[in-house]
Amino acid sequence: MNIAFVTDSGTGKSKEYWAEQGIYSLPLQIEVNGHSFDEEENIMIPDVLNYLHANVPMKTSLPKLGEIEDLFESLKEKGYDTIFAVPICTGLSSTMNALEMAANMLGLEFIGVDCYTTAVVQGEMILTAKKMWESGHSIDEIVRMLNRIADSCDTILLVDDLNHLKQGGRLTPMAAALGGLLKIKPVLHLDMETEGRIDALAKVRTMSKAQDYVINRLKEIGV
């Protein structure tokens, strides 16, 4: 079995960074004013933050299907027969399904593990998978370890409003309903229990109280 390890820009790292780790990364898409950009390539995190502060509407989507197919074709030509992927979680994106479909079309075996979040956890999981494989661990052992990592993590979000998240359909119904309540600052989270969708963890009246809630929660779990 010759495995290519694949992730996406949800990790917050560039394609060049992952190439240095021997891992392949695909850019998620960010649409601004009708123009689509490759995340971490021609639109960077500071750009996204500037658009958010300026209340510029943005949409996100999975990597371009043609780019996924091109990558997998090149991997097959290099002698890889298996794709091991840890993309952004299925609760936020259909990237996993697109990767699996592309692999199947090319006759490549596909192994995908849901990180139930994104960012740091996603990056750590794909890196762990590659290191374990190189150390002689079996696929079953690797998948069990990655699931343990995912199960141990909880991503907490503090936002001023839910407009962007509601428009993208990435909230659970309960969390979305909070967006209509006045003077409520919901503390949001996503993890394995929420199946990678953003759910309400708590609701408070001010951002300072939301911050206090998060700090106290971290203390409770011993962070």
Chain mean pLDDT for the chain = 91
Higher pLDDT, 178 or 149: 149
User: How confident is the model at residue 182, as a pLDDT?
Assistant: 55
> Does 205 score more than 90 pLDDT?
no
User: How confident is the model at residue 163, as a pLDDT?
Assistant: 66
Q: Write the DSSP assignment of the chain as a string of letters.
A: --EEEEEEGGGS--HHHHHHTT-EEEPPEEEETTEEEEBTTTB-HHHHHHHHHTT--EEEEPPPHHHHHHHHHHHHHTT--EEEE--S-TTT-SHHHHHHHHHHHTT-EEEE---SS-HHHHHHHHHHHHHHHHTT--HHHHHHHHHHHHHT-EEEEE-S--HHHHHTT-B-HHHHHHTTSTT-EEEEEEETTTTTSBEEEEEESSHHHHHHHHHHHHHHTT-
Q: Does pTM surpass 0.95?
A: no
- In the chain the domains, ranked by start, together with CATH numbers, are 3-151 (3.40.50.10170), 154-220 (3.30.1180.10)
